[in-house]
Structure 1
Amino acid sequence: MTDLKMLSAQAALVKLFDQDYFSICTIDNISKMMGIKPEREAYQILNTLHCVHYDQMPSALLQALPELIMRVMQSPALDASRINIVSEGSSLKLVKH
């Protein structure tokens, strides 16, 4: 089941990054599915960005999003090393290994 959960998490992140805006709902759903207790500070920053369009974020903030997402999803239940998020211009992208 863990592989299906990981595939589901990756698919949800791909959808999140294909959108024009950030949605904390995706992070919430992945965290709940994987039994992850989000790291508080990173989660608060991401939660504040709910529904903010990527092209409206300062470049430094957009570049920080991959690290913030990874901090939120740090858990033995999720092999986060299988997820590689990069900032690309005014959007995010999930890169497959």
Structure 2
Amino acid sequence: MLEALEDLLKEFQKNNQKTQIRTLGMQHIRIGQAADKKVRKAGKEEMKMAKTSFSETSSHLREAVKGHFGKKVTEVFEKQEDVLENF
């Protein structure tokens, strides 16, 4: 009888450990998802700021630099804006 109780106790401890491990795993998944969401949000904000910067720089260069060179420079900046937008 005592042996049966010991076996039950061992089984209970094993199941308890499994539950604790699953709980820790789920917590780490949630932490990872929250961190991923935070990084994605920060990345979007940074890309938005970079795109605005490219746009402003392109506009200023278009006004400051005339001729064929100015056109090429503004085209390059516009392509970079598109790259950021589609990233």
TM-score of the pair, normalised by structure 1: 0.30
TM-score (normalizing by structure 2): 0.33
If you compute each CA radius of gyration, which structure gives the higher value, 1 or 2?
Answer: 2
Higher RCO, Cα 8 Å, sep 6+: 1
Structure number with higher strand proportion: 1
